Structure 1
Amino acid sequence: MAPRLRIPPELLTATRSYATTSRRIPIPPPFPVTRSCPEPTCPCAEMPKGLEIDHAQNLNGTMAGYAQQVLISTGQSDWRSRIEEDGVDERWGMLGRGLKGMVGRGGKFSDPYNNILITNSSFPTSQASSSSNSKRASALLFPSFKYLPNIPLDEESLSRFVQAYLLPRTPHPAHDILPKEERDAMKRVQALESTFPDAADIRHSPTILICGHGHRDKRCGIMGPLLRAEFRRVLRGKGFSVAGDEGNGDGAVVDKVGHANVGVISHIGGHKYAGNVIVYLPPEHRFSGEEPGTLAGKGIWYGRIEPRHVEGIVQETILHGRVISDHFRGGIAPDGKILRL
């Protein structure tokens, strides 16, 4: 039998120490970070009692990955548990079902490496779309930061919409085994954007989204409207004009310096972390009146947000471009890369 190799204890200790040390090498976050949300400087709404919120799990990484979020304009603040079953006679319902049928499982543009998050929002349908005799609907796209007020709902037009805005510019390497013709059919066709002449870029106005899907989970149904009102109040106090209320004339999506769009949205996952908030900061958003910062063009997901945190989010993230790590669930970059701490 070969003699057993004996490692000197001091060498073994040194090796373990090195391994332990190497695991603890800090990796700088990909954006400016502040640990905790600052305490509010003025009275805010009361946190509802009795909600079962998970305060134990680390939130970082609890956001599901996606390539693009489609926000369908519905003009209402709650929907059936399964949004594809809602709005049967509404144009926005037709848009949701049509897109899910094309990019969802079994659809002709289904791609497990190009997850499209289809979400209803409280933003109203554009006036031109709602008054049109033809069937059209409105939607926003993030992190493309696009607003499409008039999307035709026939199958051919929806197919063009998916090809123009929702397919990846380059298919995932896992598809390299496919014939070239099939791979090409999976790529975005940017030339088709010209067939949607009303499409507009959102370059300046931050968009704040709060899950308020009460028919899916009561925690979000309670927190959504409460946080929307608080964001509107705080943003106005910071000098922003605000849009996002349905049915009152100031709900239309607007893009201009000093303006914010605030809306309630349907299920995005993580009810137990309510309130759930997404902050999309457009490419030319100015932080504290300066040049665009590291967060420009990105979307930041927050969880366990209470009314007392709203002022801190506005101050730290929207005004100063810093992520609050205690509430950070994940994020998305302009190229679709998922952000983690």
Structure 2
Amino acid sequence: MFQSLLSLRAVKSNTNYIFPTVNPKEDGPDCQRDCADCTVHFPSKVKIETSKPLYGKTKEFHCHVLVATGRSDWNQHAEQEKGSLMEAFDQSAYKSRHGRIMVSASNLQPADNDDTADNQTMDKGTTVLLLPSFTFVDSVTNNDVQELIDSFIDAPQSQSQSGTNPPSTEQQIVRSRLTSRPCAYEYVILLCSHKRRDARCGITAPLIKKELERHLRPRGLYRDANDERPGGVGIFFVSHVGGHKFSANVLIYRKKEQQMIWLARVKPEHCEGVVNYTLLQGKVVHPETQLRGGFDRQRRLTSW
């Protein structure tokens, strides 16, 4: 234990994080204080690893694809669900020229949801949300993996990097039968809820979501699945992202800033600080024990 504490102190003193941290002189004396009036708590049976340093230990990726399944739990390996878009991505030989794509099953509902997302077929397809571009693409079938990558993941990013504006939806439709639409949220929070992979994720994710909602609602920021008002925060459950022993894993996407901030070991008492500082200001409250990494596209910084 003593050695673990020393290692964490070393991380705190020597690491240059890509995201700013809260400062009592700027953010007030209570900025590092955890919430004292939480309405929920983790059960005592939830055991979380607390000694290992986290920062910079995640795998590199440049795009996150959320597959709409309408469920919050999946097979132990979501990419092995027969006939799913997750399986199609996993087995596809087509890769993005910009690097690794993270594919997650999610509880998002398909846009054309006349029954349930479980009825995804090769012909009908499902909806995906692309992050950090905040773009929905509808009716994506298992045969569309290459087209999705070419027309909505690689092409917009390559044009943006060359200094020109990203293609409009109309321009994309010309070269692709797939149709896209902007995601109206200003922020998206992802919580790993993959219970069949690790029970801790299935237990902690709903509790974190409930506490986040409690702090978002008074600000008028929370958006449920049927709330189409622009702006606000969408919170979604996703499949295994890695590091379930560090539950709860919380990935925060900030649209305007083109950032992804990945936190771990988040408990209900941390949610107030997550909302007030990390979500809204891009500052991390407990980087030495909770920050796993992320990226900042505007400043061209990553933690990989």
Match of 1:97 in 2: 87
TM-score (norm 1): 0.69
| CA positional deviation for 1:266 | 0.3
User: 1:163 and 1:80, CA in 2 relative to 1: closer, same or farther beyond 3 A?
Assistant: same
CA distance in 2, matches of 1:336, 1:225: 33
User: 1:239 and 1:267, CA in 2 relative to 1: closer, same or farther beyond 3 A?
Assistant: same
| CA positional deviation for 1:205 | 2.1
User: 1:27 and 1:266, CA in 2 relative to 1: closer, same or farther beyond 3 A?
Assistant: closer
Instruction: Decide whether the 8 Å contact of 2:54 with 2:291 is kept in 1.
Output: yes
| CA positional deviation for 1:275 | 0.4
One-letter amino acid of the structure 2 residue matched with residue 339 of structure 1 = T
Match of 1:115 in 2: 100
CA distance in 2, matches of 1:61, 1:311: 25
Instruction: Decide whether the 8 Å contact of 2:57 with 2:293 is kept in 1.
Output: yes
Match of 2:46 in 1: 51
Instruction: Decide whether the 8 Å contact of 1:253 with 1:261 is kept in 2.
Output: no
Instruction: Decide whether the 8 Å contact of 1:235 with 1:242 is kept in 2.
Output: no
Instruction: Decide whether the 8 Å contact of 2:191 with 2:205 is kept in 1.
Output: yes
User: 1:253 and 1:237, CA in 2 relative to 1: closer, same or farther beyond 3 A?
Assistant: closer
The equivalences for 1:12-31 within 5 A come to 29-31=17-19
1:152-195 Cα offsets, whole Å, 9 max, x none, are 3152x33211211334856xxxxxxxxxxxxxxxxxx9965642
CA distance in 2, matches of 1:99, 1:253: 30
Aligned-residue Cα RMSD (Å) equals 3.2
| CA positional deviation for 1:338 | 5.7
Are residues 1:218 and 2:199 paired? yes
The equivalences for 1:53-68 within 5 A come to 53-68=48-63
Structure 1: state its 5+ residue gaps.
Answer: 1-24, 171-188, 244-250, 284-295
Instruction: Decide whether the 8 Å contact of 2:189 with 2:250 is kept in 1.
Output: yes
Count of residue correspondences: 268
Match of 2:238 in 1: 265
Q: Please give the secondary structure, in 1, of the residue aligned with 2:84.
A: helix
Q: Which of 154, 158, 178 is residue 145 of structure 2 equivalent to? A: 158
User: 1:154 and 1:216, CA in 2 relative to 1: closer, same or farther beyond 3 A?
Assistant: closer
Are residues 1:69 and 2:64 paired? yes
Which structure has the greater CA radius of gyration? 1
Q: Which of 111, 119, 131 is residue 126 of structure 1 equivalent to? A: 111
One-letter amino acid of the structure 1 residue matched with residue 63 of structure 2 = Q
Match of 2:77 in 1: 82
User: 1:167 and 1:213, CA in 2 relative to 1: closer, same or farther beyond 3 A?
Assistant: same
| CA positional deviation for 1:197 | 6.2
User: 1:29 and 1:128, CA in 2 relative to 1: closer, same or farther beyond 3 A?
Assistant: same
Match of 2:182 in 1: 201
TM-score (norm 2): 0.76
One-letter amino acid of the structure 2 residue matched with residue 109 of structure 1 = K
CA distance in 2, matches of 1:121, 1:253: 18
CA distance in 2, matches of 1:139, 1:336: 27
One-letter amino acid of the structure 2 residue matched with residue 340 of structure 1 = S
Structure 2: state its 5+ residue gaps.
Answer: 1-12, 24-30, 159-166
CA distance in 2, matches of 1:118, 1:253: 25
Instruction: Decide whether the 8 Å contact of 1:69 with 1:142 is kept in 2.
Output: yes
CA distance in 1, matches of 2:180, 2:191: 24
User: 1:120 and 1:338, CA in 2 relative to 1: closer, same or farther beyond 3 A?
Assistant: farther
CA distance in 1, matches of 2:103, 2:189: 16
CA distance in 2, matches of 1:337, 1:78: 34
| CA positional deviation for 1:267 | 0.3
